Structure formats: C-alpha cells, structure tokens
Amino acid sequence: MRSVEEQQARVAAAAVAPRPVRVAIAESQGLMCAEEVVTERPLPGFDQAAIDGYAVRSVDVLGIGGSAGDADDGDGESGRDERPRDISLPVMGLIEAGARTPSRLQPRQAARVQTGAPMPTLADAVLPLRWTDGGESRVRVLRGVRSGAYVRRTGDDVQPGDVAVRAGTIIGAAQVGLLAAVGRERVLVHPRPRLSVLSVGGELVDISRTPGNGQVYDVNSYALAAAGRDAGAEVNRVGIVSTDPKQLREAVEGQLSRSEVIVIAGAVGGAAAEGVRSVLAQLGDMEVTRIAMHPGSVQGFGQLGPDGVPVFLLPANPVSALVVFEVMVRPLVRLSLGKRQATRRIVSARTLSPISSVVGRKGFLRGQLMRDQDTGEYLVQALGGAAGTSSHLLATLAEANCLVIVPSEAEQIRTGEVVDVAFLAQRG
C-alpha cells in the first residue's frame, strides 16, 4: 500500500503548465503572467492635478496664511509672523480633466483645475479649494502651498522601461488595472488547464432522465466538474461514457487531444472497472493501486496518449470521488496554474467530539470548522467517522467546510485533541 505523500509526489511530477496564450486583460484575472510587461510610456503621461482646486505658481502664494509644510518659529507663536494673511489672484479659466489644448499660466495668476486635469505651463502646485473662497473670476487665497503640492508628476507611478507586471505573477485586480493604465490590451498568460470529466457505469442515467429500477443519477460528472472549476481549471463535463471497449477508447482518445487532465469516475472496483482499465492500458501507462487513505483507498493514475496526459481513475462513490479529487487532482490543477501553494490552507483545531479512523490509513474526514469568539481558537466538529460508517452520505459532505486530517497511526481521536484541518471553499 502506497502512502498519500508518495502518490501525491508521483502526481505532482506529471504537472505540466499549458503553453502560454495571449488573452485580453479582462480575461487574465487569476492566471499567471507569462511575460515581463515593460512599459513604453510614463504613468501618468503628463503633469496633472491630484485634487480639485487652483493651479498656481507656488512662489506667488508661498507664505500666505502659513503655507502647507511651513514649520513654526520654534516657540509656537505664529502670531508674530508679518506675512500677509491672504491675497487675491485672477482666474484665467477652468481646465477640465481630459482637456487637450495646452494652456499657460502667467505670473500672479491662477487656473481652476479638476482632478486629473493637465497642469498649465509654469504652474507647479495645486491650491485646494478649502484654502480659498472658491471664486470664479478672482480667487482669494487663504493659505499658500509649496512647489509640487497636490500635483502628480509625469512618471510618478511608472517610468518608461519599468516592469509593470513580472512573469510568474498571478494577475489580480491591481495587475489588471496596471495593465490598463500602461495601455496593454492583451497579455501573455499561462491558461487554465483543460480538465475533462467522464463517468462510467451501467447503472448511471443523466439527471435529465428518470432513473429506472437499479439505476442512479450520474452525480460524479457534475460534482467533479464543479470541483475542477473551483480548482481553477477550464472544465469539459463529458458525462456518461459507454464501457463498450471501442466506444470507450474513442471517447478517451478524443479527450486526450484537448485536455491537460482527465478524470474518469467509477473506473475502480468491480468487473466493469476491469474492462475500463484494460482499454486504458492500450493508450499508455495506467496503474490502479491502494493508497493508505480513507475514503477512496483504491484509485488509479497514469499518463496516456503521445503527450502523457495525466489521467485519474476515481471511485464510483461520490463522497470518495470528491475526497480523492481534493487530495490528488486539485493539487495537480493548481500546480499547472503556476500556483506556489498547491494545497489548501491547513490550520490546527480542537475536536468537539471523538473521531474514529482506520489504523494504517490517513483519514480525510468531513467536518465543520468554527472559531471560539473569546479565545480565537479553531474548533472542529467531525461529520464522518471511519471508512464504512456513512461515508456515502453526500449530504454531510455538502454541510462540511473542512476536511479533518487524521494521521495514519491514529485509530481514535479523543474530544479536545488537536488535529490538522484543511479549509474547503467558502460557502455562501
């Protein structure tokens, strides 16, 4: 029996990021940048007003009423200052954001400016509205400003030749905004790995049909496709595939040419699974083995087709299939996306009830994680016990927000003991 860690290492070694593609920046969020985005223009591209106010020459207003940034004279008595309390300047007009006609400020003159408006020539500061009387033809200056105050200078954010977004960066909202700010319409990224999900089993019917005697709905292809999208993959839910050798081979070969990962549910355990494995063995290296974990001990993994596409064989039990996906498939998808952390966040939590496990197998059991409001300590309530004790109940998995990780040497976790817990996706 192979350990969980050994199997995870075998799977991780097969991770290959898809070839980079160029996409619109609106479609790049969450993907890893595959190029050094070097800016060609300064940002901002011109001197602009940082606030609404009046563009002025600082020399014309410096010292009025105690300029912004002026230090007092050391004894806290500013009343001895003989500088003028205020002055009045003529206003040459309004410069709006987006104005394209150049303007020039004359000495002892002001121009009304909007936030983002280009600064007129000779103006080196913006006087905030609150330090004026808000006049239109003339403005009364109540307080002066120093040179550069409330002005965004050309290239303050980015200079030509600077790297705006580095290769290997996961593109988030800030990176999308910066790409737009430097005028990039498209960016080279590592795309989402394409994941195909198939279900096999003579008892399966799609949810659009009514099950007959002995038939059940195909839960796995829907649940695993959702898990794939949650992991970050581009998912193709193929659905139910016939176990007829010729039809099965054609279906799998068709997906090998358009997928970076393939998941086949219901392909381990039972006579039908033997036939599936026989067909897959014709397409490459496929191994079905027992892994020291529960649920989902029996599982398969191999690399099929000329490109060695990773293919997973999962149990028919939906709960077991989802747990195996979480432990084995999801990390591979995350690695293919270029994520530095391929696994879920792990925290320590104190148990609220006893937990039974299976000696010799690492347990991944459903649980509800909560936090003590007074102490901040994590607490966990297990929703499932040892393998075979209601492990088939999909409803309890839907109620879970974590997986309780039980060491392989433990048979019983007592109330109050501390265990590792893996966060699942946030609900709601």
Answer yes or no: do 313 and 385 share one domain: no
CA distance 223 to 321: 9
Output the CA torsion 172→177→181→186 (10° steps). Answer: 60
The pLDDT score that the predictor gives to residue 18 is 81
Q: In which residue ranges of the chain is pLDDT below 50?
A: 69, 71-79, 386-391, 427-428
Answer yes or no: do 203 and 249 share one domain: yes
Domain count across the chain:
4
Answer yes or no: do 328 and 412 share one domain: no
The pLDDT score that the predictor gives to residue 138 is 93
Q: Which of 171, 190, 209 is the last residue of a domain?
A: 190
Asked if 116 contacts 99 with a C-beta cutoff of 8 angstroms, the reply is no
Asked if 249 contacts 183 with a C-beta cutoff of 8 angstroms, the reply is no
The pLDDT score that the predictor gives to residue 158 is 80
**Cβ atoms within 10 Å, residue 295:** 24
Asked if 417 contacts 378 with a C-beta cutoff of 8 angstroms, the reply is no
Answer yes or no: do 105 and 176 share one domain: no
Q: Is residue 77 assigned to a domain?
A: no
The CATH number of the domain where 386 resides is what? 2.40.340.10
Q: Is residue 76 assigned to a domain?
A: no
The pLDDT score that the predictor gives to residue 425 is 62
Which pTM value belongs to this model? 0.73
Q: Is residue 78 assigned to a domain?
A: no
List % helix, strand, coil for the chain (3-state, nearest 5).
20, 30, 45
Asked if 61 contacts 141 with a C-beta cutoff of 8 angstroms, the reply is yes
The pLDDT score that the predictor gives to residue 387 is 42
Answer yes or no: do 354 and 295 share one domain: no
Answer yes or no: do 104 and 224 share one domain: no
Asked if 272 contacts 234 with a C-beta cutoff of 8 angstroms, the reply is no
The pLDDT score that the predictor gives to residue 388 is 43
Query: Two tokens at 187?
Result: 């960016």
CA distance 152 to 173: 23
Strands 261-265 and 194-199: parallel
425 contact partners, CB below 8 Å, separation of at least 6: 230
Answer yes or no: do 89 and 170 share one domain: no
The pLDDT score that the predictor gives to residue 181 is 86
Contacts of 140-143 spanning 24+ positions with Cβ under 8 A: 140/86, 140/87, 140/88, 141/56, 141/61, 141/64, 141/65, 141/86, 141/87, 141/88, 141/89, 141/110, 142/64, 142/65, 142/85, 142/86, 143/64, 143/65, 143/66, 143/67, 143/68
Output the CA torsion 29→31→36→42 (10° steps). Answer: 0
Q: Which of 190, 213, 245 is the last residue of a domain?
A: 190
The CATH number of the domain where 332 resides is what? 3.40.980.10
Query: Two tokens at 57?
Result: 């020459």
CA distance 56 to 64: 13
Answer yes or no: do 35 and 173 share one domain: yes
CA distance 149 to 325: 57
Give the structural domain span for 213: 4-17+192-337
Asked if 328 contacts 313 with a C-beta cutoff of 8 angstroms, the reply is no
